[in-house]
Structure 1
Amino acid sequence: MDNSIKSMMAFQEEESIDLKKEVNRYLNFWPWFILATIIMVFSAYVYLRYAPKIYQTNAKVKILDESDGLELPTSAFIFKRSNINLENEIEILTSYIIIERVVRELNLNTKFFEVGTIQTSPVANLPFEYEQLVHQDSIIKSSTYEVNIENSKFRIVNNTNEKVYEFSNHNTFSSEHDLPFNIRYNTEASSEDVIGKTFLINFNTVKMAALSLKSQIEVEAIGEQSDLLQLTLRGESFELSENIINTLLDVFNKDGITDRQLVSQRTIDFIDNRFEFLASELDDIEVDRQEFKQKNNLVDLGTDAELGLEQRTKSDEEVFRIENQLALAELLNDALVSTNGSSLLPANFGLDNQGINNLINEYNTAVLERDKLTSSAGANNPSVKLVVSTINDLETNIKRSLTSYITQLKMSQGQIKSRNRRFIGQVSQIPEKEKLLRAIERQQKIKESLYLLLLQKREEAAINLAITEPSIKVVENALSSVKPISPKSSIIYAGALLAGLLIPFGFLYLMFMLDTKLHGKDDITNITTDIPVIAEIPDLKKKENIIFTDPNDRSALAESFRILSSNVDYILPVKDNKKSNVIYCTSTIKGEGKTLVSLNLSLALSSINKKVLLIGADLRNPQIHSYISEDKHKPGLSNYLHEIEFNWKDAIINGFDKHPNHHIILSGSIPPNPAHLLTNGRFKDLIEEAKKDYDFIIVDTAPTILVTDTMLISQLADATIYIARANYTEKNLLNYSKELHESGRIKNMAYVLNSVGASKSYGYGYNYGYNYGYGTKS
Structure 2
Amino acid sequence: MEENNINKLLSNYTKYWPLFLISLVICLGGVFLYLRYWADTEYQISSTLLVKTKDAGQGSIQAESIKSLGLIKNTTEVEDEIGILKSTGIMEKVIANRSLNINYYVEGKVRDVEIYGNDSPIEVLVDETASGLIYDLPIEIKILENNKYELITVMEDKDYRASYSFGDLVEAPFGTFTISKNENSSYVDNGKPLYFVIRNSELVIDDFLKKLNIDLANKTGNLLQIQFLSQNKKKGEDVVAGLIETYVEEMIKYENELAENTIKMIDGRLKLLSGEIEGVEKSVEQFKTRNDLTDVASNASLYVEQANDYKKLISEYQTEIKVIDAIETYLQQGNMDTPIPASLSANDPSLTGMIDQYNATLLQKGQMAQSASDANPIIVNLNRTLDELGKAIIENVRSAKNRLMIAQRNLQSNANKYQAQIAKVPSMERQLVDISRDKSTKEGLYLYLLQKREEEVLSLAAPVSSTRIVSLPKSSTYPVSPNKTALYLGGFLLGLFLPFSIIYIKDLLYNKISSSEELSNYTTAPILGEIAKSTTGETLIAPQSNRTPIAELFRLLCFNLEYLKKSEHNQTLLITSTIKGEGKTYIASNLAITMASNSEKVIVLAFDLRMPKLMNQFGLSDNPGLTNFIIDNDIQISEIIQTHPQYDNLHLIGAGTETSQVGRLILSNRISTLMEFLKGKYTRIIIDTPPIGLISDAFALNDYIDSTIYVVRQDYTKIDCIKTLETIHENGKLRNTMVVLNDSQEAKNYGYEKTR
3-state SS, counterpart of residue 266 of structure 1: helix
Aligned to 1:666: 655
Aligned twin of 1:385? none
Aligned to 1:708: 696
Change beyond 3 A, Cα 1:35–1:70:
same
* Alpha-carbon distance in 1 for matches of 2:444, 2:587: 131
Match of 1:248 among 243, 249, 265: 243
Contact persistence 1:143–1:160 (CA under 8 A): no
Deviation at 1:585, TM superposition (A): 0.2
CA contact (8 A) 1:54 1:235 kept: yes
Identify which of 586, 590, 594 aligns with 1:596.
586
Q: CA deviation at 1:217?
A: 1.5
Name the CA shift for 1:570/1:63 in 2 (closer, same or farther; >3 Å): closer
Letter in 2 for 1:747: R
Letter in 2 for 1:581: Q
Distance in 2 (alpha carbons) for counterparts of 1:423 and 1:698: 147
Distance 2:246 2:289 in 1: 66
Q: 2:291 aligns with which of 308, 332, 346?
A: 308
Paired position in structure 2 for 1:199: 194
Residues 392-403 of structure 1 correspond to what in structure 2 (within 5 A)?
A: none
Secondary structure, in 3 states, of the residue corresponding to 1:241? Answer: helix
Distance 1:107 1:646, change over 3 A: farther
Residue 540 of structure 1 corresponds to: 534
TM-score normalised over the length of structure 1:
0.64
| Cα distance, 1:154–1:709 mapped onto 2, change above 3 Å | farther
Superimposed CA distance per residue, residues 665-700 of structure 1 (whole angstroms, 9 cap, x where no aligned partner):
2164353672x5433434323322333454433211
Whole-angstrom distance in 2 between the partners of 1:185 and 1:251? 26
Q: Does 1:683 align with 2:671?
A: yes
Q: TM-score, normalised by structure 2?
A: 0.65
Question: Secondary structure at 2:129's aligned position in 1?
Answer: helix
Matches within 5 A, 1:318-717: 461-467=456-462, 469-512=464-507, 515=510, 517-525=512-520, 531-533=526-528, 535-543=529-537, 545-548=538-541, 556-565=549-558, 568-570=561-563, 581-607=571-597, 611-624=601-614, 627=617, 636-638=625-627, 641=630, 643=631, 645=633, 647=635, 649=637, 652=640, 654=642, 657-659=645-647, 661-666=650-655, 668-669=657-658, 671=660, 674=663, 676-717=664-705
C-alpha change, 1:193 and 1:258, in structure 2 (3 Å) is closer
Q: Pick closer, same or farther for the CA change 1:53–1:32 going to 2, 3 Å.
A: same
Contact 2:121 2:185 survives alignment (8 Å): no
Name the aligned partner's letter for residue 137 of structure 2: T
Match of 2:744 in 1: 756
Which segment is superposed worse, 617-626 or 644-653?
644-653
> Could you tell me which residue of structure 2 aligns to residue 266 of structure 1?
261
Contact 2:578 2:692 survives alignment (8 Å): yes
In the TM superposition, residue 449 of structure 1 has moved relative to its aligned partner by: 12
Give the SS at the match of 1:740: helix
1:197 partner amino acid: K
What's the CA shift for 1:572?
5.6
1:17 maps to which residue? 4
Rounded Cα–Cα distance in structure 1 between residues aligned with 2:8 and 2:755: 26
Any residues of structure 2 matched to 1:181-196 within 5 Å, and which?
A: 181=177, 192-196=187-191
List gaps (5 residues or longer) in structure 2. Answer: 65-73, 298-425, 433-440
Decide whether the 8 Å contact of 2:44 with 2:476 is kept in 1.
yes
The superposition leaves residues 548-590 of structure 1 with CA deviations (integer Å, 9 ceiling, x where unpaired) of 58676665545544554565455567768xxx93210011332
Please say if residues 577 and 691 of structure 2, whose CA atoms lie closer than 8 Å, have aligned partners that are also in contact: yes
Contact residue 128 and residue 185 of structure 1 kept, 8 A: no
Q: Distance in 1 between matches of 2:169 and 2:456?
A: 55
Separation in 2, partners of 1:141, 1:654? 98
TM-superposed CA distance for 1:639, in Å, is 5.7
In 1, Cα distance between equivalents of 2:205 and 2:236: 14
The offset of 1:594, in angstroms, is: 0.6
AA aligned opposite 1:481: S
Percent identity reads: 25
User: Residues 155 and 630 (structure 1 numbering): CA distance in 2 closer, same or farther, change over 3 Å?
Assistant: farther
The answer as to whether partners of 2:605 and 2:686 remain within 8 angstroms in 1 is yes
- Cα separation, partners in 2 of 1:313 and 1:568, compared to 1, 3 Å: same
SS in 2 for 1:137: coil
Question: Aligned equivalents of 2:614 and 2:534: distance in 1?
Answer: 19
Distance 2:636 2:580 in 1: 26
2:120 matched to 1:125? no
- Aligned match of 1:97: 89
Q: CA deviation at 1:29?
A: 3.9
Q: 1:110 to 1:423 in 2, by over 3 A?
A: closer
Counterpart contact for 1:219–1:232, Cα < 8 Å: yes
Q: Is the 8 A contact 1:635 1:651 kept in 2?
A: yes
Provide the C-alpha distance between the structure 2 equivalents of 1:457 and 1:526, rounded to a whole number of angstroms: 98
Shift of residue 144, structure 1, vs aligned partner: 2.5
Change (3 A) 1:54 1:128: closer
Shift of 1:135: 1.3
Distance 1:65 1:52, change over 3 A: closer
Distance 1:454 1:525 in 2: 104
In structure 2, do the counterparts of structure 1 residues 128 and 581 end up closer, same or farther at CA, with 3 Å as the change threshold? closer
Structure 2 residue 76 is matched with structure 1 residue 84: yes
SS in 2 for 1:197: coil
- Seen in structure 2, the aligned counterparts of structure 1 residues 108 and 667 have a Cα distance that, compared at 3 Å, is farther
Q: Is the 8 A contact 1:61 1:475 kept in 2?
A: yes
SS at match of 1:261: helix
Per-residue CA deviation, residues 720-775 of structure 1 (Å, 9 max, x unaligned), is 11111122224564454344334332223332221122xxxxx55235443xx458
Match of 2:138 in 1: 145
- 175-184 or 446-455: which moved more? 446-455
Instruction: Pick the aligned partner of 2:204 from 197, 200, 209.
Output: 209
How far does the alpha carbon of each residue in 1:248-270 deviate from its partner, in whole angstroms, 9 at most, with x for none? 12222222333333343334455
What does residue 745 of structure 1 align with? 733
**Structure 1 SS opposite 2:465:** coil
User: What is the CA distance between 1:625 and its match in structure 2?
Assistant: 5.8
SS state at 2:105 partner: strand
Q: For residue 231 of structure 2, what is the aligned residue in structure 1?
A: 236
- Aligned residues of 1:536 and 1:752 also touching (Cα < 8 A): yes
Distance change in 2, residues 1:744/1:206 (3 Å): closer
Summarize the Cα distance change of 1:497–1:134 in structure 2 as closer, same or farther, 3 Å threshold.
Answer: closer
Mapped to 2, the partners of 1:223 and 1:423 lie a distance apart of 63
Q: Which stretch of structure 1 is more off in the superposition, 52-61 or 255-264?
A: 255-264
Q: 1:530 to 1:213 in 2, by over 3 A?
A: closer
In structure 1, distance between residues paired with 2:634 and 2:610: 20
Contact 1:144 1:202 in 2 (8 A): yes
Partners of 2:730 and 2:106 in 1: how far apart? 80
Secondary structure of the equivalent of 1:240? Answer: helix
Cα 1:105–1:699 change in 2 (3 A) is same
Is residue 2:36 matched to residue 1:49? yes
| Partners of 1:462 and 1:185 in 2: CA distance | 44
Q: How far did 1:608 drift?
A: 5.5
Which is higher, the Rg of structure 1 or of structure 2?
Answer: 2
In the TM superposition, what is the alpha-carbon distance from 1:484 to its structure 2 partner?
1.5
Residues 665 and 460 (structure 1), Cα distance of their counterparts in 2 relative to 1, 3 Å cut: closer
Counterpart contact for 1:128–1:183, Cα < 8 Å: no
Q: Structure 2 CA distance, aligned partners of 1:422 and 1:721?
A: 138
Relative to 1, partners in 2 of residues 1:173 and 1:150: Cα closer, same or farther, differing over 3 Å?
closer
Q: Does 1:222 align with 2:217?
A: yes
Q: CA 1:621/1:250 → structure 2, altered by over 3 Å: closer, same or farther?
A: same
